[in-house]
Amino acid sequence: QPALRKALEKNFIHQSMSIIVEDAIKKATDVREKVCEWRSPEQLKELLDLELRDGAESESEILQRFKDAIRYSVKTTHPRFFNQLYAGMDPYSMVASFIIEALKPSLYTYEVAPVFTLVEEAVLKKMMELIGWKDGGDGIFNAGGSMSNMYAVNLARYRCCPDIKENGLSAAPHLVMFTSQECHYSISKAAALLGIATRTLLSGAVPFMVNATAGTTVLGAFDPIDEIADICEKHNLWLHVDACWGGAALVSSKHKHLLKGIHRADSVAWNPHKMLMACLQCSAFMVRDKTSLLQRCHSARASYLFQQDKFYDVSYDTGDKSVQCSRKPDAFKIWLMWKALGSRELEQRVDRALAMARYLAQEIKQREGFRLLMEPEYANICFWYIPPSLRNLPDGPELWGKLHKVAPVIKERMMKKGSMMVGYQPHGEKANFFRMIIISPQVSRQDMDFVLDEIHNLGKDL
Amino acid sequence: QPALRKALEKNFIHQSMSIIVEDAIKKATDVREKVCEWRSPEQLKELLDLELRDGAESESEILQRFKDAIRYSVKTTHPRFFNQLYAGMDPYSMVASFIIEALKPSLYTYEVAPVFTLVEEAVLKKMMELIGWKDGGDGIFNAGGSMSNMYAVNLARYRCCPDIKENGLSAAPHLVMFTSQECHYSISKAAALLGIATRTLLSGAVPFMVNATAGTTVLGAFDPIDEIADICEKHNLWLHVDACWGGAALVSSKHKHLLKGIHRADSVAWNPHKMLMACLQCSAFMVRDKTSLLQRCHSARASYLFQQDKFYDVSYDTGDKSVQCSRKPDAFKIWLMWKALGSRELEQRVDRALAMARYLAQEIKQREGFRLLMEPEYANICFWYIPPSLRNLPDGPELWGKLHKVAPVIKERMMKKGSMMVGYQPHGEKANFFRMIIISPQVSRQDMDFVLDEIHNLGKDL
């Protein structure tokens, strides 16, 4: 491997790693640095020289490209990044990711990924224990929560009408699933992809599943799983719990009540890359079934991978449970971190984040010009900032129409300044509001105060 | 971020990186080292102590866990790993992967991943140029070739019957697609998932797409794209080319004729993580359509991500083209490598690999006890090894019955010895044979000779 040998000899890898440690780790997580260095697409294209050409670039040019790519990237690991349902950097998980990238494993057969196959099994076992499935179950990690939710829909459909796999939906009854308005958009994407329909057509339809959300994306709300499970049991409906975001509460004795009844679910999606801070992606999909439903539903029995005459127990070849072929060993990113921290530290992180969320909600209620959308159930704090010029307007369409335009301008200003990143969105009839996401363990009360002060500073003239 | 600060202060990250360079990069790619250190699942579970507990482990224990994980993992980057459609290690791509892991970007909106959004656009542009789409097109990178093929089926269906997205398949005609027996199993997985049926039901069915394979998984064979395109044009069928494996030939003036006619495809899947050696995953899906078909087919317009009142051009928010939500910026892994090597070096790598494949085929034809299954079209060399004890048997069921059991035993022995990894499989009526995959630029004639010598050494007593 001449390129690799040359890179090792010429110290290229060592130099690259120094840049990564300095710029992409230390500087990126330093609160005194900017969270982003905003450039418009047009400006950035000029700065980066993206075109791919016939000739090679020198190693020093390549090192400069690393620096530029890091410089103009958003620092999602920065303490002032509150924009998505993930944030921060766990060093153990990061190093686990590096190992994965260097070893290039793919999880389809035990023979090419022995360690990672067993690691995945161990992590799923632990997560299913926390869910409360005393007899275990089955599962796989996959490329994101949207995929997990899609798997749930497919499994539920397969249990209901196994013939669909071979015969398709044209001959099947019209199937319908139930979910709340607040559910993640991947449920609707799954319905479209699987040919189930995204529009409700109730007449003559056969219900086959209910999706309950544990920690909704915008509001952080929890569906009442126990009550939904009662209905599902009565009508023999598959119960899927989308706990991608809220699942982390299961590690906390104080907060796990939010997911009361989750052990009654047929399937659960839970992303340790969110609140638990594993590196991206780290998304588990778990099924209570122990009759190889996952395998039967998805298998295609490729003879070049899943030979039955191997010299080891081929039940460790997990690839045919997936709709992917190559699959990354994402469980390793949470396994190593869990080993390093232990369940107790994970619990403290979650408790700390949720305590901080309560603190922020209290502050918002006390500060002039801030208005809480609802008491937080979890780590999403949704609120409006009302600039002084609007504070005397009566509650009505004029106020809300004007408020709707406030958050986008403050967002633009915070990004151009690089001081922090907080998301905003409208929601149903509600005008644009901010959504702060508090991820353990990186934030302090000072950070919470900073966010509110900064929003006021950026928006007080509006 | 206390854990990160502590890890930086205590030199933990530096120590981890040293282990990665020594064990996961240098040693893993050293031909004098073993390609794998075989342990059965039961043995490995004991060695690794996988259970997750309440308490934390020390940093030295964690560093030992890294070493163990690397030690017992298969070295897919080792020069003697010929088991899958990927191999080797490109240092530029690896470092690009590390940067991605450290920065934790997610590709849904320009605001959180500005650099990687533009990099993806630039790489897709270059790949579409090589396909020959003079006016460009559209595309995204996603979590693997199976996903790309699934996207193709969904887009083809959407173009044929856009109502299915809202109304589902129950009201639609029975749809049917055409593909060869030799196609990748993801086509069949996609048909099952999308509710199209995996069993052929021709009566009254409406054809909507043809899948052509450019580089089949087992034999490395190429469907005649031009001839298939004629038929697709005549009958208005969507033409998808699964060039996940064979797409790399497009960078070579000498070999691109293998994909003659690919510019007539409606969609193409091409994985630079295979022959071009980008790190895993690096899988592009491209569509010739320029009317936002990808977006219209997959969009769910989540208001918390894809706000229309942002301060920048929201056509750079590419997330709604995908069925995923979070999506890794995999294009960066090929972009950086392409910058460092240039198209010319990529071309030489491909030419070199295919020349080596020819050499191996010639050797197999000349050596006693080896039998080539077919002349290679690409980098898959399929052959039987016939141990001396079977060489005098006449060609017939007895010989093939006995030969069928030879490859699995040799495979077991090579893995337990750790000398190399080569895949085997049956294929249709054909008894188990070896499939060597030659990936540029890591192999020499000596390596090819070694493989044949070693197979003979491991199997001559059978």
Task: Quote the pLDDT of residue A292.
Answer: 95
- Pick from A3, A24, A38: which is nearest to B90 by CB? A3
Secondary element (H or E) of residue B333: helix B331-366
- Pick from A51, A143, A201: which is nearest to B122 by CB? A51
| Inter-chain touch A144–B327, beta carbons under 8 Å | yes
Task: Quote the pLDDT of residue A201.
Answer: 73
Which chain A residues touch B142 with a CB distance below 8 Å?
143
| Inter-chain touch B24–A75, beta carbons under 8 Å | no
pLDDT in tens, A46-63: 999 999 999 999 999 999
Give the chain B residue whose CA is nearest to the CA of A83: B112
Q: Distance of alpha carbon A180 from its chain centroid, rounded?
A: 19
| Token reading at A7 | 């890179």
pLDDT in tens, B335-376: 999 999 999 999 999 999 999 999 999 999 999 999 999 999
Which chain A residues touch B422 with a CB distance below 8 Å?
none
State the complex-level ipTM. 0.97
Say yes or no to pLDDT of A200 above 80.
no
Per the prediction, chain B carries an average pLDDT of 95
- Pick from A44, A88, A146: which is nearest to B324 by CB? A146
Helical packing angle, B59-72 and B41-48, nearest 10°: 160
pLDDT, mean of residues B144-149: 97
Distances (CA, A) of B324 to A277, A389, B162, B318, B321: 19, 41, 20, 11, 9
* Residue position matching structure tokens 């390596």: B447
- Pick from A14, A168, A408: which is nearest to B174 by CB? A168
Which chain B residues touch A142 with a CB distance below 8 Å?
143
Task: Give CA–CA dist B266/B261, Å, rounded.
Answer: 11
Task: Give CA–CA dist A375/A272, Å, rounded.
Answer: 25
Say yes or no to pLDDT of B9 above 90.
no
At A112, the pLDDT band (50, 70, 90 cuts) reads very high
Task: Quote the pLDDT of residue A1.
Answer: 76
| Inter-chain touch A54–B343, beta carbons under 8 Å | yes
Task: Give CA–CA dist A437/B328, Å, rounded.
Answer: 21
Task: Quote the pLDDT of residue B198.
Answer: 83
| Token reading at A267 | 């399937």
Nearest Cα to B76, choosing from B123, B41, B25?
Answer: B25
Say yes or no to pLDDT of A199 above 90.
no
Say yes or no to pLDDT of B109 above 90.
yes
Say yes or no to pLDDT of B454 above 90.
yes
* A456: closest CA of chain B, how far (Å): 19
Task: Quote the pLDDT of residue B312.
Answer: 95
pLDDT in tens, B237-261: 999 999 999 999 999 999 999 999 9
For an interface test with A, the pick among B16, B64, B74 (most A C-beta atoms closer than 10 Å) comes out as B74
pLDDT in tens, A229-278: 999 999 999 999 999 999 999 999 999 999 999 999 999 999 999 999 99
Task: Give CA–CA dist B110/B391, Å, rounded.
Answer: 63
| Token reading at A149 | 């939710």
Say yes or no to pLDDT of B440 above 80.
no
At B199, the pLDDT band (50, 70, 90 cuts) reads confident
Residues 6 or more apart whose CB falls under 8 angstroms from that of A334 comprise A93, A123, A272, A276, A278, A282
Which chain B residues touch A340 with a CB distance below 8 Å?
56-57, 59, 62
Task: Quote the pLDDT of residue B18.
Answer: 95
Q: Which amino acid is at B30?
A: D
DSSP letters spanning A354-403: HHHHHHHHHHHHHSTTEEESS--SSSEEEEEE--GGGTTS-TTHHHHHHH
Q: Is B451 exposed, middle or buried (0-12, 13-18, 19+ CB in 10 A)?
A: buried
Nearest Cα to A455, choosing from A422, A431, A416?
Answer: A422
Which chain A residues touch B106 with a CB distance below 8 Å?
76, 84, 86, 280
Residue ranges of E strands in B2-149: 81-82, 138-142
| Token reading at B240 | 């998808």
CA angle B321, B324, B326 (to 5 degrees): 105
| Token reading at A93 | 């998980």
Task: Quote the pLDDT of residue A98.
Answer: 98
Which chain B residues touch A73 with a CB distance below 8 Å?
103, 105, 113-116
Which chain A residues touch B26 with a CB distance below 8 Å?
8
* B261: closest CA of chain A, how far (Å): 23
Collapsing DSSP states into helix, strand and coil, what is residue B296? helix
Contact A370, A364 (CB under 8 A): yes
Paired sense of beta strands A430-437 and A380-385, if any: antiparallel
Say yes or no to pLDDT of B173 above 90.
no
Q: What backbone phi and psi angles, to 5 degrees, belong to A123?
A: -70, -45
For an interface test with B, the pick among A193, A346, A438 (most B C-beta atoms closer than 10 Å) comes out as A193
* B4: closest CA of chain A, how far (Å): 5
Task: Give CA–CA dist B356/B330, Å, rounded.
Answer: 29
* B148: closest CA of chain A, how far (Å): 10
Distances (CA, A) of B428 to A438, B242, B431, B432: 55, 21, 8, 10
pLDDT in tens, B79-105: 999 999 999 999 999 999 999 999 999
Which chain B residues touch A110 with a CB distance below 8 Å?
41
* A231: closest CA of chain B, how far (Å): 25
Task: Give CA–CA dist B279/B92, Å, rounded.
Answer: 9
pLDDT in tens, B404-434: 999 999 999 999 999 999 999 999 999 999 9
| Token reading at B370 | 């080896």
- The percent of residues above 70 in pLDDT, for chain B, comes to 100
| Inter-chain touch A423–B304, beta carbons under 8 Å | yes
The CATH code that applies to domain A106-328 is: 3.40.640.10
| Inter-chain touch B73–A105, beta carbons under 8 Å | yes
Say yes or no to pLDDT of B276 above 80.
yes
Task: Give CA–CA dist A130/B231, Å, rounded.
Answer: 55
| Token reading at B102 | 């450290």
* A75: closest CA of chain B, how far (Å): 6
- Pick from A300, A301, A412: which is nearest to B311 by CB? A412
| Inter-chain touch B73–A332, beta carbons under 8 Å | no
| Inter-chain touch B99–A20, beta carbons under 8 Å | yes
Q: How many CA atoms lie within 13 A of B23 on its CB side?
A: 22
Across the A:B interface, residue pairs with CB atoms under 8 Å apart total: 525
* A314: closest CA of chain B, how far (Å): 10
| Token reading at A253 | 């004795």
Say yes or no to pLDDT of A3 above 90.
no
* B342: closest CA of chain A, how far (Å): 4
- Pick from B65, B302, B311: which is nearest to A336 by CB? B65
DSSP letters spanning A7-23: HHHTTHHHHHHHHIIII
Residues 6 or more apart whose CB falls under 8 angstroms from that of A219 comprise A182, A373, A374, A377, A380, A382, A427
| Token reading at A6 | 């040359």
User: Across the strands, what pairs with A242?
Assistant: A213, A269
* B290: closest CA of chain A, how far (Å): 20
At B442, the pLDDT band (50, 70, 90 cuts) reads confident
At A137, the pLDDT band (50, 70, 90 cuts) reads very high
pTM to 2 decimal places:
0.98
Contact A271, A284 (CB under 8 A): yes
CA angle A423, A269, A97 (to 5 degrees): 75
| Inter-chain touch A168–B197, beta carbons under 8 Å | yes
Which chain A residues touch B3 with a CB distance below 8 Å?
90-92, 341, 441
* A328: closest CA of chain B, how far (Å): 8
Say yes or no to pLDDT of B7 above 90.
no
Residues 6 or more apart whose CB falls under 8 angstroms from that of B97 comprise A101, B279, B333
At A328, the pLDDT band (50, 70, 90 cuts) reads very high
Which chain A residues touch B110 with a CB distance below 8 Å?
41
Task: Quote the pLDDT of residue B6.
Answer: 84
- Sheet harboring B175-178: ordered strands across? B138-142, B283-287, B267-270, B238-242, B206-213, B175-178
Contact A286, A258 (CB under 8 A): no
Task: Quote the pLDDT of residue B5.
Answer: 84
DSSP letters spanning B136-157: --EEEEES-HHHHHHHHHHHHH
Task: Quote the pLDDT of residue A282.
Answer: 98
| Inter-chain touch A73–B114, beta carbons under 8 Å | yes
Say yes or no to pLDDT of B202 above 80.
no
Say yes or no to pLDDT of A5 above 90.
no
* Residue position matching structure tokens 């030799």: B182
Q: Distance of alpha carbon A459 from its chain centroid, rounded?
A: 30
- Pick from A2, A48, A157: which is nearest to B118 by CB? A48
Task: Give CA–CA dist A391/B84, Å, rounded.
Answer: 65
Task: Quote the pLDDT of residue A2.
Answer: 79
Contact B369, B387 (CB under 8 A): yes
Handedness of CA A215, A218, A221, A227 (dihedral sign): negative
Give the chain B residue whose CA is nearest to the CA of A129: B52
pLDDT in tens, B31-74: 999 999 999 999 999 999 999 999 999 999 999 999 999 999 99
Give the chain A residue whose CA is nearest to the CA of B161: A195
Residues 6 or more apart whose CB falls under 8 angstroms from that of B69 comprise A99, A115, A119, A332, A336, B48
Handedness of CA B28, A111, B53, A321 (dihedral sign): positive
Task: Give CA–CA dist B111/B300, Å, rounded.
Answer: 19
Per the prediction, chain A carries an average pLDDT of 95
Torsion of Cα atoms, A354 then A359 then A364 then A367, to 10°: -170
- Pick from B2, B170, B335: which is nearest to A441 by CB? B2
* B268: closest CA of chain A, how far (Å): 17
| Inter-chain touch A102–B53, beta carbons under 8 Å | no
Q: Domain B342-459, what architecture? A: Alpha-Beta Complex (3.90)
